[in-house]
Chains A and B, each alone.
Chain A
Amino acid sequence: MNDQTKIDQDRAERTEKLQGMGCKRKRVEDIRFTQGKGSYVDDLKLPGMLFGDFVRSPHAHARIKSIDTSRAKALPGVVAVLTAADLKPLGLHYMPTLAGDVQAVLAEEKVLFQNQEVAFVIAEDRYIASDATELVDVEYEALPCIVDPFKSMDPDAPILREDIQDKMVGAHGPRKHPNHIFEWTIGDKEATDAVFANADVTIKEMLVDHRTHPSPLETCQSVASFDKVKGELTLWGTFQAPHVIRTVVSLISGLPEHKIHVIAPDIGGGFGNKVGAYAGYVCSVVGSIVLGVPVKWVEDRMENLSTTSFARDYHMTTELAATKDGKIQAMRVHVLADHGAFDACADPSKWPAGFMNICTGSYDIPTAHLAVDGVYTNKASGGVAYRCSFRVTEAVFAIERAVELLAQKLGMDAAELRIKNFIKAEQFPYQSALGWEYDSGDYHTAMKKAMDTIGYKELREEQAKKREAFKRGETRELMGIGISFFTEIVGAGPSKNCDILGIAMFDSAEIRIHPTGSVIARMGTKSQGQGHETTYAQIIATEIGIPADDIMIEEGNTDTAPYGLGTYGSRSTPVAGAATAVAARKIKAKAQMIAAHMLEVHEGDLEWDVDRFRVKGLPEKFKTMKEIAWAAYNSPPPNMEPGLEAVNYYEPPNMTYPFGAYFCVMDIDVDTGVAKTRRFYALDDCGTRINPMIIEGQVHGGLTEAFACAMGQEIRYDEHGNVMGASFMDFFLPTAVETPHWETDHTVTPSPHHPIGAKGVGESPHVGGVPCFSNAVNDAYAFLGAGHIQMPHDAWRLWTVGQKLGLHT
């Protein structure tokens, strides 16, 4: 073995020992989770802890005539019953929402959606609390309700929000009707209209991204414990953004923020459901403050599905204008957004429709206009980003369905139309017509790789044959090929356009190297299953040369973690991951000075080598990071502060723009409407890949949630505002039997502005997956003249399509 080979081998061994970026490191979290030793909110048991449960409205819209709590209070074991009358003197019967609206904590004069919180019973255990909710007597006078958002702004529509009836300028400008929330527009309307007026070809379709729910397996829950002597509140909860919750609790309770300790322990999935603040959190806090003992609140599944944070409900009139050879010239979209009874979207403050303006997608569309009208209805509030950045699933669904409809009208292949209109690699950074600067991308390469791998040409040939066979009556099966080429916008975000309640959307990392060379690091984000304890350690390991196994990652305790805006919108890697790298580099810079002092050379004479600084040209003269750590505490250079730690609050200069090419092959039995996914191929480009195993897991999970949304999952209401099917009996969560097998692939286009080039991946598969499934279904029926088929595509609805087309004999 020659010297260079030895050196290379030594370096490879040291690199492998680090378990840094790029390796499939096994997860740290799994040691406790596989043994049932995770620590979730409902696992918490405190001395004297009481249990709270809600009395909820059976009506979608009704006036509360009276509330009588006497029978409930008389039940042995019941300690208190809170109503709006108890909260009002404290100013807590309403709470602010992240969208600039207010939301009732407990209904005062009216209820505005079914299952709205009316009273909060606190009892010695959950059984008694539940019993007592049945004993609270509430007299209602039912009122006409609004279920169809298109009727919200009718002249004779009942006014839903009497509390803001006279406030005709909302948080986002003038309101056109008492049931109107906001109008948000962007783009050049005049220019867009002009292009449409003169276009060769146009398409226009109402695309509905229906109401659904993130539905993590663990529901929302909290435990509040107020120490009357110290005047301090400790609040454990299912919080995707614990620091934001602390600030909100301080603002609404008047407790000083330093006396509030918010702790998010292990979280059983979030998917956007656990970003907002809910009545249950507030009531557990009030209960504990009033009673001086800990109060626990745990949602049941029905409450989760029907009250805390639905997603979607976007009704998108989508238009494209193109030349006859298929060059897209303009896009025009109007969205009617059903926000339910309160505007409780969890978007950055200035973005009432989230980042819906990413709806020009992966295409070089020179002119566009988008208008969004938000309205109130008698449904639960929310509008959260369900496994996506803010309204990005909606935006991608609009453009990816629209290009398919355009291809159909032009008689062009849908893949070819996309390729013809892609933003070219050399156009990045790309300024979109609706205001974004896409940081990077290489769409043509990704699309070609995907098409070659899936065998696109052969699939189309097979489909053509199957269609002929169907027409001849030789088969009852329809074959659909779904395509989706999505561009996401994640990693919110730069302070110039992103804040939550006025707090800029930076994120943070604090890293401390101990004298013995092990590490604790804390971030402002909060994992809900993404594996942060594993992956952040990999970033640090690579940056500073300490093995990931010697690095402990801690999140969720607001007393110890630096302030951060939390985990949602795929922002952990783009923002806190960047903060982690920058903080690590600060440590490395100080370590270099210490190493120079130890080796008695100039800093500039040192070079970094995996886990050590060595003298250039003298590789045998080096100091490992572990040795440097000891020296930092034992014998730092003169005039240097001892210690080795750093903190970084990272303000991202731009969002990141992950993209991907997805293909779905589906076979549908026209007589039963049962759709079987034969293949699903997902190529993702999330820039630099920190842990390929975890990325693949994220893609699998996101695709499964996309499959659920597209193929059956829905929160539906009847005409009286009764929520239909708020249990897992009716709400579709795919089991292992229905879930297709996923094929994953990737290209790597690093983000040019991110310290390690990473872009975020957790939500891409959901965003790209929903339109891919819907396109496959639509493609299957397209040759029969079905027109656009709305989601969700469950067997009953697809059977109905066949029925309408006269395909059943």
Chain B
Amino acid sequence: MAKSHIELTINGRKVEALVEPRTLLIHFLREQQNLTGAHIGCDTGHCGACTVEMDDMSVKSCMTFAVQANGANITTIEGMANPDGTLSALQEGFRMMHGLQCGFCTPGMILRAHRLLQENPAPTEDEIRNGIAGNLCRCTGYVNIVKAIQYAAAKINGTPFQEAAE
């Protein structure tokens, strides 16, 4: 199949590649770029395990062709740590609040939470729950994911984080 030439930025790095027009962004990232953090959970856009950031939007990379990312700026979980390599506020929040178990949904969940906090720096619990409704988690029951995002928001905003009482 004839291949298309694409140029894009992934985690701050310029990338050029040849891809088949039908290659999905998730397969391009995982198999050609060796960025295996984003996962495939459903192939139908429901679970959000493949969520990455594309030009300041959350996208489900299993529903996006790699050619659609031509010229785009992509961030994956591999680009989410602080520049000095320490865990970012969201990554730390997920660990501190036990917001993950098997870890399969976590990269997509963190990327989605990142976009949510960009758009709404101090979300309420309801806003968080609605904001992550496109990302499924089978392990945690979401309570601790909500807390993880609240923890990160507080840390980023420099406001005190108080764990809600049971």
Tell me the A residues contacting B by CB distance below 8 Å.
26-27, 29-38, 40, 42-43, 45, 126-127, 215-219, 266-269, 271, 298, 300-302, 528-531, 693-694, 696-697, 700-705, 727-729, 733, 735-737, 739, 741-744
Given the interface pairs A34-B110, A35-B81, the reply to whether A742 lies near B141 with Cβ below 8 Å is yes
Tell me whether A742 and B139 are in contact in the complex, defined as CB-CB below 8 angstroms, given that A34-B91, A34-B94, A697-B98 are known contacts: no
Which of B37, B100, B107, B137 contacts A30 (CB under 8 A)? B100
A40 near B104 (CB under 8 angstroms)?
A: yes
Chain B residues, CB < 8 A from A530: 101
Residues 14-31 (chain B) with a chain A CB within 8 angstroms: 20, 22-23, 27, 30-31
B145 cross-chain contacts in A, Cβ below 8 A: 736
Given the interface pairs A27-B95, A36-B38, A735-B133, the reply to whether A529 lies near B101 with Cβ below 8 Å is yes
Q: Do the beta carbons of A736 and B129 come within 8 Å of each other?
A: yes
Query: Would you list the 8 A-B pairs with minimal beta carbon distance, nearest first?
Result: A36-B37, A529-B102, A33-B103, A268-B104, A700-B141, A36-B77, A728-B46, A529-B101
Residues on B with C-beta less than 8 A from A743 are 166
Give the chain B neighbours of A733 by CB distance below 8 A.
46-47, 136, 138
Cβ-defined contact, A301 with B41, below 8 A = yes
Give the interface size class of chain B: 35 or more
> Residues of A contacting B91 with CB < 8 Å?
34-35
Contact B94 A701 (CB under 8 A): no
Bound: A37/B85 CA distance, A: 13
User: Is B58 positioned at the interface, with any CB of A under 8 Å from its CB?
Assistant: no
Interface members, chain B 138-153 (any A CB < 8 Å): 138-146
CA–CA, A108 and B144, complex, Å: 49
Please give the distance in Å from B159's CB to the nearest CB on chain A. Answer: 22
Q: Which residue on B lies nearest to A703, using beta carbons? A: B141
Chain B residues with Cβ below 8 Å from A29 are 103
Residue among B95, B96, B102, B146 making CB contact with A736, cutoff 8 Å: B146
User: Does the CB pair B133–A266 fall under 8 Å?
Assistant: no
Question: How many angstroms between the C-alpha atoms of A127 and B66 in the bound complex?
Answer: 14
B162: CB under 8 A from chain A?
Answer: no
Of the candidates A126, A268, A302, the one whose C-beta lies within 8 Å of that of B103 is A268
Q: Which residues of A contact B136 (CB under 8 A)?
A: 217, 728, 733, 735
Q: By the criterion CB–CB under 8 Å, are B166 and A736 in contact?
A: no
The complex places the Cα of A271 from the Cα of B34 at a distance, in Å, of 28
Are the C-beta atoms of A728 and B42 separated by less than 8 Å?
yes
Q: Mark B22-61, 1 if CB is under 8 A from A, else 0.
A: 1100010011001111111111101101000000000000
Task: Enumerate 15 A-B pairs (CB-CB under 8 Å) in ascending A order.
Answer: A26-B96, A34-B106, A42-B30, A217-B39, A218-B104, A301-B41, A529-B103, A531-B101, A700-B141, A701-B101, A727-B46, A733-B46, A735-B133, A736-B132, A736-B133
Q: Which of B20, B44, B92 contacts A729 (CB 8 A)?
A: B44
Q: How far is the CA of A271 from the CA of B39 in the complex (A)?
A: 19
Bound Cα distance A29, B139 (Å): 14
Are A268 and B39 interface neighbours, CB within 8 A?
Answer: yes
Bound complex: CA of A528 vs CA of B103, how far in Å? 9
Is B119 an interface position by the 8 A CB rule? no
If over half of A's interface residues share one DSSP class (helix, strand or loop), that class is named, otherwise mixed; here it is loop
C-alpha spacing A266/B80, complex, angstroms: 21
B98 to chain A, nearest CB (A): 5
Known contacts A42-B30, A697-B98, A697-B101; 18 further A-B pairs (Cβ under 8 A)? A26-B96, A33-B103, A34-B91, A35-B80, A36-B35, A36-B106, A37-B37, A40-B104, A42-B36, A43-B30, A217-B136, A268-B102, A529-B101, A529-B102, A697-B140, A700-B141, A727-B46, A735-B142
- Provide the bound-state CA to CA distance between A30 and B37, in Å: 13
Q: Would you call A36 and B76 a contact (CB within 8 A)?
A: yes
Task: Indicate if B128 sits at the interface (CB-CB under 8 A).
Answer: yes
Asked if A737 meets B100 with Cβ closer than 8 Å, knowing A35-B81, A301-B42, the reply is no
Residues facing A in B83-123 (CB within 8 A) are 87, 91-92, 94-96, 98, 100-107, 110
Tell which of A36, A697, A702, A741 has the most Cβ of chain B within 10 Å. Answer: A36
A727 to B45, CA, bound (A): 10
Measured in the bound complex, the distance between the Cα atoms of B48 and A103 in whole Å is: 34
With a cutoff of 8 Å between Cβ atoms, the chain A residues found around residue B139 in the complex are 269, 529, 697, 701
The answer to whether A701 touches B141, judged by C-beta atoms less than 8 angstroms apart, is: yes
> Are B102 and A218 within 8 A (Cβ)?
yes
A30 touching B95, Cβ below 8 Å: yes
- How long is the Cα–Cα vector from A215 to B92 in the complex, in angstroms? 28
Shortest CB distance A777–B (Å): 20
A30-B95, A697-B101, A701-B140 as given contacts; A36 in contact with B128, CB under 8 Å? no
Q: Which residue of A lies closest to B38 (CB)?
A: A36
A705 to B44, CA, bound (A): 21
Compute how far the CA of A700 lies from the CA of B137 in the bound complex, rounded to whole angstroms. 11
CB neighbours (8 Å) of A219 from chain B are 41
Given contacts A301-B42, A736-B128, contact A701 B96 (CB under 8 A): no
The docked-state distance in angstroms from the alpha carbon of A696 to that of B140 is 9
Q: Are B46 and A697 in contact (CB under 8 A)?
A: no
Q: Which residues of A contact B132 (CB under 8 A)?
A: 735-736
Chain A CB within 10 Å — which of B76, B132, B138, B143 has the most?
B138
**Which residue from chain A places its CB closest to the CB of B35 in the assembled complex?**
A36
Complex Cα–Cα for A702 and B101 (A): 12
Contact A217 B110 (CB under 8 A): no
Known: A736-B132, A737-B133, A742-B143. A300 touches B103 (CB 8 A): no
> Smallest distance from the beta carbon of A18 to chain B beta carbons, Å?
20
Q: A268-B103, A268-B104, A701-B101 are in contact. Are A42 and B87 (CB under 8 A)?
A: no
Q: A735-B136, A736-B132 given as contacts; is B141 within 8 A of A36 (CB)?
A: no
Taking the closest CB of chain B, its distance from the CB of A363, in whole angstroms, is: 29
Q: Which residues of chain A have C-beta atoms less than 8 A from B31's C-beta?
A: 45
Given known contacts A34-B95, A35-B81, A741-B143, is B41 in contact with A45 (CB within 8 Å)?
no
Which residues of chain A have C-beta atoms less than 8 A from B35's C-beta? 36
**Cα(A38)–Cα(B105), bound, Å:** 11
Are A217 and B141 within 8 A (Cβ)? no
Q: What does the 1/0 interface line of B63-89 toward A look like (CB < 8 Å)? A: 000000000000011101100000100
Q: Pick from B34, B78, B96, B104: contact of A35, CB below 8 A.
A: B78
B49 touches A217 (CB 8 A): yes
Pairwise interchain contact B43-A300, C-beta atoms closer than 8 A:
yes
User: Is B106 a contact partner of A737 (Cβ separation < 8 A)?
Assistant: no
Q: In the complex, what distance in Å separates the CA atom of A300 from the CA atom of B43?
A: 7
Q: A42 contacts B40, CB within 8 Å?
A: yes
**Which of A37, A301, A701 is the one whose CB lies under 8 Å from B43?**
A301
Residue of B nearest to A304 (CB): B42
Contacting pair B87 A700 (CB below 8 A): no
Q: How far is the CA of A700 from the CA of B146 in the complex (A)?
A: 13
Query: Which B residue sits closest to A691, measured CB to CB?
Result: B98
Residues of chain B contacted by A269 (CB below 8 angstroms): 101-102, 104, 138-139
Tell me the nearest residue of chain A to B23, going by C-beta.
A127
Residues of B near A697 (CB, < 8 A) are 98, 101, 139-141, 144
Q: Which of B37, B76, B98 has a CB less than 8 Å from the CB of A27?
A: B98
Whose C-beta in chain B lies nearest to the C-beta of A269?
Answer: B102
B51–chain A nearest beta-carbon distance, Å: 12
CA distance A746 to B34 in the complex (A): 44
A739 to B145 alpha-carbon distance, docked (Å): 12
Separation of A126 and B22 alpha carbons in the complex (Å):
12
Q: Which residue of A lies closest to B110 (CB)?
A: A34
Q: Are A694 and B41 touching (Cβ within 8 A)? A: no
Which residues on A sit within 8 Å (CB–CB) of B133? 735-737
Q: How far is the CA of A608 from the CA of B80 in the complex (A)?
A: 45
The residues of A that contact B42 with a CB separation of less than 8 Å are: 301, 727-728
Most buried by A among B94, B103, B104: B103
Quote the shortest CB–CB distance from B17 to chain A (angstroms): 15
CA distance in complex: A218, B20 (Å): 26
Contacts of B128 in A (CB 8 A): 736
Q: What chain B residues lie within 8 Å of A33 (beta carbons)? A: 100, 103, 106
Contacts of A42 in B (CB 8 A): 30, 36, 39-40
How many Å from the CB of B36 to the closest CB on chain A?
A: 4
Say yes or no: B46 contacts A729, CB within 8 Å. Answer: yes
Which residues does chain A contribute within 8 Å of B47, judged by CB atoms?
A: 217, 301, 728, 733
Given known pairs A36-B35, A737-B130, the reply for A704 and B142 (CB within 8 Å) is yes
